[in-house]
Chains A and B, each alone.
Chain A
Amino acid sequence: ETGVTQSPTHLIKTRGQQVTLRCSSQSGHNTVSWYQQALGQGPQFIFQYYREEENGRGNFPPRFSGLQFPNYSSELNVNALELDDSALYLCASNLLTLDTQYFGPGTRLTVL
């Protein structure tokens, strides 16, 4: 195991609702990245946080937002859920930007 945990494991929401997904990084890892992985596709980079500041963002709308906390935990918030948001959401932590990323097990979100 990687020492990175995510909660919840599964989640079902309806279109238009809001959701918060949580990630607990390895202790000491001050960089966390969030990814969306649709079925049969590669992980798509949502954004990265370094020491509680956003450090890069992929091609996702502003309704995808995040927070990183001093205790190595982080959140991904998605507002106004759409059906296409249904996917596996992965977080990954690393010590330095060019260091090995350790992935959590993911949260599978289903939007009905």
Chain B
Amino acid sequence: GENVEQHPSTLSVQEGDSAVIKCTYSDSASNYFPWYKQELGKRPQLIIDIRSNVGEKKDQRIAVTLNKTAKHFSLHITETQPEDSAVYFCAASSGTRFGAGTRLTVKP
């Protein structure tokens, strides 16, 4: 089955800096790659997604890039704010196989 690896497991940045989280996947048939933000005690919330026919997508401070040849995709958050602090998950294989998560801390 699909194997999704996510790095780093923890990430600490200063407010205003950029944060990058990377994921790799194993199934070349994967065609949908969402990213979720999960705050403590809450449900995962979709923040951005990308489909396999697109290489990059941007939504304000958040962007995702996809390299199908290398089977990896990345989340980029610019101008980070303390409220960006949460656990972020990537997913592949029609969005049902999740990475282990990255705990992002943005220091004021």
Residues of chain A touching chain B, judged by Cβ–Cβ distance below 8 Å, are 2, 33, 35, 40-45, 48, 56, 58-59, 90, 97-98, 100-101, 103-106
Contacts and interface: CB of A to CB of B under 8 A. Distances in A.
- Contact residues on B (Cβ < 8 Å of other chain), bracket: 20 to 34
B43 A90 contact: yes
A3 to B, nearest CB: 12
Contacts, number: 45
Given A43-B89, A105-B43, A98 B94 contact: yes
Contacts of B101: 40-42
Interface string B23-35: 0000000011010
Q: Which 6 residue pairs across A and B have the least CB separation, nearest first? A: A42-B98, A103-B43, A45-B96, A98-B32, A43-B98, A42-B100
Contact of A98 (B42, B51, B98): B51
